[in-house]
Structure 1
């Protein structure tokens, strides 16, 4: 799988990196980073097409049941283990086969389900800058939340760290950060109006300014 160009140098204080197998990890256990990462392998993935460079990061939101947080249902959903009898809404989705590379809970905990080198099933019918099938060349990040509620400070800290780790491994993604609604307009509305894009972009720009 082609990453596009050589990876960028990693700053000594960069909180997260991606290991050779495509999994996020804390860059140094001794750097004081309080970010928590779990790896939970989803069966819902496949290899990216040959010679496809990772060049897009897509942000989503998800809550199961809708507008309810916690309970571990998203994790179960991405592993095809959702109990359809646990909530009426689950009857409508339990047979779906979907995943994201990364889920960030309200607490800021990071759960990775699919190696960033592989193709997660998060975007569906989609197009970015005229190129269809965004799953082929993107990394999908789900934030536990809804379109109409603010995200937590812990989630912002975590998503910024995850984005930086991805950008260092796949430099083409530095210029390409989008929401699900951007790549599937009219079909999807997430991550919603409450996501503070400027907060994320300012933090990322500040990181690169300090690292240069």
Structure 2
């Protein structure tokens, strides 16, 4: 009888040992592969972002992102939006602007050239951006001290590589034309859009600049039909020579398909 009791006791202890091992292994498995609680298992809602153009909200993963802005379609990215900004341009806001006169919309595009330092194209427009934002360091180049204090801007800049930047909404006035007259109309800033091409008047513009310029003009014409076009030298002949003799007006007219009547100064080099 005593032998049987010892046998049962041994079997019971063995059973407890086996059970303990299973609990240890189970605990290890839970530690290595913890089950998420209900909050973790719940699928978090995806962030929604508004289209910069039409303000429709959509999941961020479905939006087209550009410079921390979002668009619902490629078309909206490439259009002039209702606030007067091109989505695919790099926006670099300039303080050198003000509102247009009441009931005035732009009907003229003025083409300029600019390079900072003069005839230097190695910085991809960085100093031009600083100049239009009143951040130009006068110690960075001797010429910069000469233009210190000037308050200038343009709606758009096209760099030598064809990159498009925008500084002022087309709904507002940029300070690009100065004292000027277009077909007997004074103060061209009131009714014009200024486009600066990175250039110096002594060398040809790049093909990429014409490509971007053509694309920009077509976008602008959607919102502002029947735009007319002139160079800065056309509206301020006593002061300015830009865009200069190397700007190819014939090429510009051909690529944009602008009607000759909207080029009142013709397509000759000047």
The TM-score by the shorter chain falls in which range? 0.7 to 0.9
Report how far residue 94 of structure 1 moved.
Answer: 2.0
Is contact 1:54–1:172 with CA below 8 Å preserved after alignment? Answer: no
Distance 1:142 1:189, change over 3 A: same
- State the distance in 2 between where 1:70 and 1:94 align: 21
Q: How does 1:97-176 map to 2 (within 5 A)?
A: 97-173=151-227, 176=228
Partner of 2:30: none
SS in 2 for 1:59: strand
Partner of 2:83: 21
Equivalenced residues, count: 184
- On the 8 A contact 2:95/2:133 being kept in 1, the answer is yes
Q: 1:106 to 1:170 in 2, by over 3 A?
A: same
Match of 1:56 among 103, 108, 111: 108
SS in 1 for 2:254: helix
Alignment RMSD (CA, Å)? 1.9
1:193 and 2:245 equivalent?
yes
- In the alignment, structure 1 segments of 5+ residues that lack a partner are 1-11, 27-36, 207-212
Higher CA-based Rg: 2
Deviations 1:4-55 (A, max 9, x none): xxxxxxxx999942100100124xxxxxxxxxx2011011100000011210
* Per-residue deviation, residues 110-154 of structure 1 (Å, max 9, x unmatched): 000000010000000000010000000000000000111000011
Which one has more relative contact order, counting CA pairs under 8 Å at least 6 apart? 1
> Which structure carries more helix by proportion?
2
- Structure 2 residues not aligned, in runs of 5+: 1-73, 259-270
Task: Say whether residues 1:41 and 2:93 are aligned partners.
Answer: yes
Does structure 1 residue 184 correspond to structure 2 residue 246?
no
CA distance in 2, matches of 1:179, 1:118: 20
Distance across 2 between alignment mates of 1:80 and 1:94: 9
Match of 2:264 in 1: none
Is the contact between residue 77 and residue 86 of structure 2 (CA under 8 Å) also seen in structure 1?
A: no
